[in-house]
Structure 1
Amino acid sequence: MLSFLALGFLIGMQHALEADHVAAVASLASGERSLRAIVRHGTAWGIGHATSLFVFAGIAIVLGIGLPARTAAALELAVGVMLVGLGLDVFRRLVRARVHFHAHAHTDGVVHIHAHSHDGDTGPHDPTRHEHTHPPGLPVRTFAVGLMHGLAGSAALLLLAVTGLRSGWSGLVYVAIFGAGSIVGMALLSAAMAIPLSFTARAMTWAHRGLQIATGSLTVIIGGFIVVEAAGTLL
């Protein structure tokens, strides 16, 4: 029993590294430059993913019901469309304004890289435009994307939990541990993603833009594949 639950945690970590999950978080975090902000995106995705998994799969386990194949395919289709939208949004952010990067310090002494636009400016550069705040808490948009991914992944998790455990309550514990593993996995991955994003933002603006273009392109491609596959199941 304990070994199966421990395996669930590890599978949850591995599950977070699936291509569509990585693409979603990378596209959402591509505009960030600090380790803290990027990890916040990964953690928000993981919490949203775990929340919907626990609620949706948990209810199904307790009630002893399954998820119809067409419903699962429809959820996958929605995820694919969402990914295409996230990828296109990366390009929208890139072309929206002319951006430059610089380092500056807040009043609390924290120094970090900041990006902002001067597109359309006609007067001299105003240094007060560098003043900005960092909202506390988790990014709501990233949390919502995690919720959607959790809904789409609940069908496979239901099958694994039901076939591996006899008790419904054991299944709930498994889902919770699986979700915790996905949070840890995505948080660690987002920390790894922060290294090239932070470095290129600080030292090579052209490379940073290249990473954003690559992220947006891959996200659109992965989303497109998911849409085609899910649509084939539904039609």
Structure 2
Amino acid sequence: MLNDGVAPALAAAAVLGFRHGVDYDHVAAIADLAGASPRPAQGVGLALVYGLGHSTIIIVLGGISVWFGMVLPKRSDQILEAAVGCTLIVLGAYVLGAIFRGTPGARPATRFELIRGAGRRIKSWFATSPSSPPAATNQPPSPPTAYGVGIIHGIGAETPTQLGLFVLAAGVGGWSSGLLCVLTFAAGLLAMNTVMAVASAGMFHLSNFRDWIYRGVMILTATYSIVIGALFVLSSIGVPVPI
């Protein structure tokens, strides 16, 4: 039987998980996965792997928070928030530049392709043997890449407010109840990620039949990325913003 204070905390954790699943970084990442995948089913699968990576770091951070009864320092959250914001601005600007400067019908590389390309360049700097031929561009990201990006986004976008909920649950009903609260949050996040992945994959699949639709969608998502990135940066320096 759950303590009286734990049941509301679990309900709040589930709601926060659903809400976190439609946060700005999730929408951008899932749209990127859907746009990079040639088949809707593949895009949904990669988005689920991304969600698993994100949930993994949430469970780790939440478990640590519950165990030690503390939240992440505010200063560290501000630094990570600024880093996420700058990333969104740069990527959004890159996509807009690629669309308006590129040839008609050409698709800009996704952030996963940019990360993979940067990894190949870094690896080549330390390689002692001749490097293999470069991999083909515009290939969908691999599941390990999607999982890794989910972990990175989990570190950079998790908020002390959500971790504070986990600590509250631990104080009300013990460590096991706090961990259950963390798992409930992660389950809500995965459920919403699945819904978002199916919707995004279907949207991009339809846009494949009309290039102008695809370009319009990419312009909208890139503009959205820049605006949200700017809000993240402003929030990190103490400017009140609606995020």
Q: Structure 1 residue 34: deviation in Å?
A: 2.4
Kindly indicate whether residue 82 of structure 2 is the aligned counterpart of residue 70 of structure 1.
no
Report the counterpart of residue 28 of structure 2 in structure 1: 23
Q: CA deviation at 1:3?
A: 4.1
Find the counterpart in structure 2 of residue 87 from structure 1.
92
* Residue 221 (1) aligns with residue 216 (2): no
Residue 188 of structure 2 corresponds to residue 181 of structure 1: yes
Give matches, 1:158-197, under 5 Å: 158-165=163-170, 166=172, 167-197=174-204
The structure with the largest strand share of the pair is: 1
Q: Deviations over 1:150-207 (max 9, x none)?
A: 22314122111222342122212211221122112112111111222111212x1111
Partner of 1:42: 47
Q: Does 1:205 align with 2:211?
A: yes
- Structure 2 matches for 1:105-184, cutoff 5 A? 138=143, 140=145, 142-151=146-155, 152-165=157-170, 166=172, 167-184=174-191
Structure 1 CA distance, aligned partners of 2:33 and 2:98?
11
How far apart in 1 are the matches of 2:186 and 2:45? 17
* Structure 1 unaligned residues grouped into runs of 5+: 102-131
1:59 positional shift: 1.3
Q: Name stretches of at least 5 consecutive residues in structure 2 with no aligned partner.
A: 108-136
Give 2:61's match in structure 1, choosing from 56, 59, 66. Answer: 56
2: CA distance, partners of 1:74 / 1:45: 23
User: Match of 1:232, SS?
Assistant: coil
Q: CA RMSD in A?
A: 3.0
Structure 2: how far apart are the matches of 1:209 and 1:135?
Answer: 18
More displaced stretch, 47-56 vs 16-25: 16-25
Amino acid in the other structure paired with 1:35: P
Q: Deviations over 1:68-98 (max 9, x none)?
A: 1111111111221222233234346645565
Q: Would the aligned equivalents of 2:58 and 2:154 in 1 still touch at CA under 8 Å?
A: yes
The letter for the 2-side match of 1:225 is: L
The aligned amino acid for 1:214 is: L
Indicate if the aligned counterparts of 2:49 and 2:147 stay in contact, CA closer than 8 A.
yes
Letter in 2 for 1:229: S
Label 1:89 to 1:32 Cα distance change in 2 as closer, same or farther (>3 A).
Answer: farther
Counterparts in 2 of 1:139 and 1:37: CA distance versus 1, 3 Å: farther
- CA 1:31–1:212: 2 relative to 1, 3 Å: farther
- Say which SS state the counterpart of residue 78 (structure 1) adopts: helix
